[in-house]
Structure 1
Amino acid sequence: MTVPISLLIADPTLDSVAVARTLASVRRQAPATCDVVIARPRSADHDAAPLEHGSHVRVMLVDLGSTPTEDVTSVLLLSALRAARTTYVGVLAPGDELEPGVLVACRDLLRSRPVDVLFTDEQYGGEGGGIVTKPGWSPHYLESYPYLGRLCLVRRELLLEVGAFSPGHGGLEEWDAALRVTERTRSISHLPVIAVTRPAVPGVGTERAAVATVTEHLDRTGVTGWAEAGSPAPGVRVWRTIADEPLVTVVVPTAGTVREVRGQDRRLVTNALTSLRDRTTYDRWEVVVVTGPNTAPEVRDELTALLGDRVRFAPVDGPFNFSRAVNEGARHARGDLLLLLNDDTEVLEPRWLERMVSVLQDPAVGAVGAKLVLEDGLIQHVGVVMGERLVPAHAFAFEADVDDRAGAKTLDRDYIAVTGACLLTRTELFQRVGGLTESLPLNFNDVDYCLKVGGAGYDVVGTPFALLAHYESSTRTPVLTEEDQLFLERWWTLRLAADPHVAFRSDR
């Protein structure tokens, strides 16, 4: 039987005890599922202990003869890659342990679906350890964080073609390899099983190495822009250059409601648009306020005094229908970009709109969402995933707005949908896919829109750097009407059930 997989191990410190632990986990796999290629330097002062070979595990040792002076891991991994002879290769480190049966699962999946890249979930031991279940293929997340991790199996010839494990990445050579490979292919699958236990939370490299790794990726792909360090390390935030500063039309439906915010009674729409005017660095915007029969008459005067000729009004008759209100506002748009904004939001990060416009400079992206926090500081939204009982839900809702280990709350990620409380899209695309569905007057119209955007071939991205407050009550529970449920079941259940982004969780 042909062995399809080689496991590459760089052993720069000649740690035979850790390597033996890894090999023992390989021996627990079914026979003829993999080869192991171990690359290590020779040191006159530090000879390696002999390695025990299992009866059905073929181990190849690659001895460099001398210790490289820098980028040791990259040099060793490249040597192991060149020595391997199988179709697929994956990287392990000394001390990593495979879970029983995982290679059979990988082999069987690759036989039935011979993709170029197959990645799995993993877990870490030691302080700060835990299980990391990953989303499916998320290109904007990979651009922000090395989330593919281990075990990640890649076609060997493809790795060689793209120049994987090149020096100069300061411990982030696997991230660099993943970026290089996925620049060439979208034949990528996620096997949602824990495949590897790593002895400790891995090192993260330096901010400089992370920024350099992603900057090289931007250069190779012809992206005009730059990368800056994000949080947590080694996270990176990519800024695409904004060409010609397109005009953004901000559509705000409102009834002119007055409510207590931060201990004072405020007219919500005036509060929202004051923060837009006073705290937004991106200056190319206009506002279309959509009013209804119940909108307080003084709202027009207040907002005209606040924004002058940057605001226009679009009246809509009949019972409140968010979808119809937004569609009417969009018909008045002069901007190339369209921002849906709730009247109960407030800008917290001055570069929020600049950030969202920058993300939308990627032609693959069709809709961008922001991070919204409640008045008590808890997260209300970073993106939408499929929740329990096949009902869309906000990822990380009501959790503390703090860094998590893998950057899911702080770094850009692909989602199946983002909330319409703050959603940026292209005006032309909005019109092309039919805008918001007016038979969904309150709930799920944003999810439906994003699914239409995805169906048209575009990505939906949440960018948490764009931060706003959303003055919904933490105890608010949206009412799911019978019409909402029937609509979801009729049109989108299969798409939502297959949400590739729902499984993400990084437990400490």
Structure 2
Amino acid sequence: MPGRCGRAWLALSAHLDAARVAPRAYLTASWWWLRGKRLRARSQFAPLLGVSSKAYQLWILKQIGGEDRSARHASPPIVALVDIGVGRIGLNETLLSLTAAGVPAHLVDSGNVSALAETVRQIDWQEKPWLMPIMAGDIVAPAAVQAYRAAIIGSETRIIYADDDLVDGRGRRIAPHFKPSWNSELFRHFDYMTGACIARAQPEDLEGLSGEDWAGRLVASLAARTVPLHLPQVLHHRRRRPRPRIPATFHTPGGGLPPVSVIIPTRNRHDLLHTCLAGLENTDYPDLEIIIVDNDSDDPATLAYLSGLDPVRYRVLRHPGPFNFSAMNNRAASEARGQLLCLLNNDIEVVTPGWLKAMATQALREDVGAVGAQLLYPDGRIQHAGVVLGVGGAAAHAHRLLRPNEEGYFHRHALPQFTSAVTAACLVVMRPRFLAVGGLDEGRFAVAFNDVDLCMRLNRRGWQSLYEPRAMLIHHESVSRGFDRDPIGAARLARELAALQELWGTGERIDPFHHPELSRFSERFVVRL
């Protein structure tokens, strides 16, 4: 029931869902709204409303409107290759949607070895068509051809992919997948393109393809030779999708790993530091240099602990003055001997011995800059699974408060992937690359957002940030330093936030690995309402 009444009813239903599922959180969000704290209220309402079964229906209603299909018969031609599947279930619906969209279709029997070869001979390759491999039962949106053709103009890519959703047994659209811009690392573990894309292929690209996964192998082959282009529109309504493949424990490739210098800023709280160092002692890594940067510890027990550390194993640098996380790390990095740097908070607890090998191996890649780990709160929920720009007007930790064994947003928290940034609470980067971009910014980002700024400067040089969930640690966040609730700390945080927004446009920026239709008020990937 579209229209204002329909939207109002769905909105009310979404609020009732949220109030029923999480009553305390809903009341808290409502309280902030009534007090006029709209930004704070939205940041708490967004994840509550976004997971409601009514959220996507509300989003769909907002999209209803006239569609200009005047360009659907224009060049270049788009030709569908329809995998008829088992029993041809849903084939008629697929063909009807292709006809309505003006897309000619060729049927492919994946159980017939010669079927694809026969299809290749039927296609008029002189017209330089784009191919649309889809499964029987999937439906193409009426506006798909126009949207794809508009994206083709001026593009050099060989793959253009779109967003999609599922159609349930009652014909309702559910479970939208608002996809990131091209993310080759994520695609290694999750084929989010096949079945919702068009491909500029040649006859030889299809030679030798057969079996149920012929379309996936075609898309993967082309993706290895081009940079796919994302079209952020829901153009495919599907019966099923490829599933993410959650990787097992990290297997370090053969060959030695270079020395790592671990840099740990600290102040007092020797109990936290002791736990952190004990974890490093149990870390499986061949060559570690451990540098502790002490910022004016004045607790007698901490001073005694630091003076009792083995100087052969640990270097303690004294760094007096106001707390400046960037300056402390930069000083240690300038004196470090390791080819790799590991920035590590003193409130990190190591839980698996292979975490550093996984991060170091990824950091040695030519296309990678900063590597971040999956960090958990002590209660087991996620504290960090990569950083998303623009959420809350700054940058926020993705998938925060999700439990690692939950599905979340297409298991993204459990998959290695490129991200815009990662946290410096546990970050590994090649020392020459860290120095090449000038290290952390001591002037503008003494405490907050220095990691985001560093990652963005590395990204700009072609060294992309990477999130590695197979490195899992516990983070007792801000336990030793505390939170910035005092006026001086709040003013400093405001300055650093303003600097981040000015330098990197996070007030308006859409993170390329997020999506315009995902909420900018939630760290959980939920639909924007």
TM-score (norm 2): 0.74
- Residue 243 of structure 1 deviates from its aligned partner by 3.7
Tell me which amino acid in the other structure corresponds to 1:9.
Answer: V
Tell me which amino acid in the other structure corresponds to 1:271.
Answer: T
Question: Pairwise mapping of residues 11-410 of structure 1 onto structure 2 (< 5 A)?
Answer: 11-13=84-86, 15=88, 18-29=90-101, 31=102, 34-40=103-109, 68=112, 76-77=115-116, 79-81=118-120, 83-84=122-123, 85=125, 86-126=128-168, 130-157=175-202, 160-162=203-205, 166-167=209-210, 171-186=212-227, 188-202=228-242, 204=243, 233=245, 239=251, 241=253, 243-257=255-269, 267-278=271-282, 280-294=283-297, 296=299, 298-299=301-302, 301-302=304-305, 309-404=312-407, 406-410=410-414
Other structure's SS at 2:467 match: strand
Cα distance, 1:82–1:371 mapped onto 2, change above 3 Å: farther
- Residue 403 of structure 1 deviates from its aligned partner by 4.3
- Residue 402 of structure 1 deviates from its aligned partner by 1.8
Residue among 80, 104, 108 paired with 1:7: 80
CA distance in 1, matches of 2:455, 2:129: 38
1:468 — aligned with what? 473
CA distance in 1, matches of 2:474, 2:300: 26
Other structure's SS at 2:401 match: coil
Cα distance, 1:454–1:460 mapped onto 2, change above 3 Å: same
- Residue 88 of structure 1 deviates from its aligned partner by 1.3
Cα distance, 1:489–1:78 mapped onto 2, change above 3 Å: farther
CA distance in 1, matches of 2:393, 2:425: 21
Tell me which amino acid in the other structure corresponds to 1:116.
Answer: R
- Residue 293 of structure 1 deviates from its aligned partner by 1.7
1:449 — aligned with what? 454
CA distance in 1, matches of 2:148, 2:500: 34
1:92-113 Cα distance to aligned partner (Å, 9 max, x none): 1100011221221111111243
Tell me which amino acid in the other structure corresponds to 1:11.
Answer: I
Question: Residue 143 of structure 1 contacts residue 179 of structure 1 at CA under 8 Å; is this kept in 2?
Answer: no
Question: Residue 411 of structure 1 contacts residue 464 of structure 1 at CA under 8 Å; is this kept in 2?
Answer: yes
Question: Residue 120 of structure 1 contacts residue 150 of structure 1 at CA under 8 Å; is this kept in 2?
Answer: no
CA distance in 1, matches of 2:214, 2:248: 15
1:53-102 Cα distance to aligned partner (Å, 9 max, x none): xxxxxxxxxxxxxx63xxx5xx5445435533343112111000112212
Question: Residue 269 of structure 2 contacts residue 302 of structure 2 at CA under 8 Å; is this kept in 1?
Answer: no
Question: Pairwise mapping of residues 409-424 of structure 1 onto structure 2 (< 5 A)?
Answer: 409-424=413-428
Moved more, 310-319 or 170-179: 170-179
Other structure's SS at 1:309 match: coil
Structure 2 residue ranges without an equivalent (≥5)? 1-73, 519-523
Cα distance, 1:400–1:12 mapped onto 2, change above 3 Å: closer
Tell me which amino acid in the other structure corresponds to 1:6.
Answer: V
Q: Which structure carries more helix by proportion?
A: 2
- Residue 151 of structure 1 deviates from its aligned partner by 1.1
2:495 — aligned with what? 483
Residue among 438, 454, 460 paired with 1:434: 438
1:102-126 Cα distance to aligned partner (Å, 9 max, x none): 2211111112434221111111234
Other structure's SS at 1:369 match: strand
Question: Residue 129 of structure 1 contacts residue 200 of structure 1 at CA under 8 Å; is this kept in 2?
Answer: no
Question: Residue 368 of structure 2 contacts residue 465 of structure 2 at CA under 8 Å; is this kept in 1?
Answer: yes
1:49 — aligned with what? none
Question: Residue 141 of structure 1 contacts residue 411 of structure 1 at CA under 8 Å; is this kept in 2?
Answer: yes
- Residue 239 of structure 1 deviates from its aligned partner by 4.5
- Residue 139 of structure 1 deviates from its aligned partner by 1.0
Superposed CA RMSD: 3.0
- Residue 181 of structure 1 deviates from its aligned partner by 1.5
Other structure's SS at 1:481 match: helix
CA distance in 2, matches of 1:390, 1:507: 17
Question: Residue 164 of structure 1 contacts residue 177 of structure 1 at CA under 8 Å; is this kept in 2?
Answer: no
Other structure's SS at 2:505 match: helix
The percent identity for this pair of structures is: 28
1:10-50 Cα distance to aligned partner (Å, 9 max, x none): 225452x6211001112332x4xx32121238xxxxxxxxx
CA distance in 1, matches of 2:142, 2:462: 38
Size of the alignment, in residue pairs? 432
CA distance in 1, matches of 2:155, 2:284: 48
TM-score (norm 1): 0.77
Other structure's SS at 2:276 match: helix
Tell me which amino acid in the other structure corresponds to 2:84.
Answer: D
Cα distance, 1:76–1:400 mapped onto 2, change above 3 Å: farther
- Residue 472 of structure 1 deviates from its aligned partner by 1.9
- Residue 149 of structure 1 deviates from its aligned partner by 3.4
CA distance in 1, matches of 2:218, 2:307: 54
Cα distance, 1:91–1:381 mapped onto 2, change above 3 Å: same
Question: Residue 81 of structure 1 contacts residue 156 of structure 1 at CA under 8 Å; is this kept in 2?
Answer: no
Question: Residue 9 of structure 1 contacts residue 38 of structure 1 at CA under 8 Å; is this kept in 2?
Answer: yes
CA distance in 2, matches of 1:123, 1:476: 41
Structure 1 residue ranges without an equivalent (≥5)? 42-66, 205-231, 259-266
Q: Which structure carries more strand by proportion?
A: 1
Question: Residue 421 of structure 2 contacts residue 452 of structure 2 at CA under 8 Å; is this kept in 1?
Answer: yes
Tell me which amino acid in the other structure corresponds to 1:88.
Answer: W
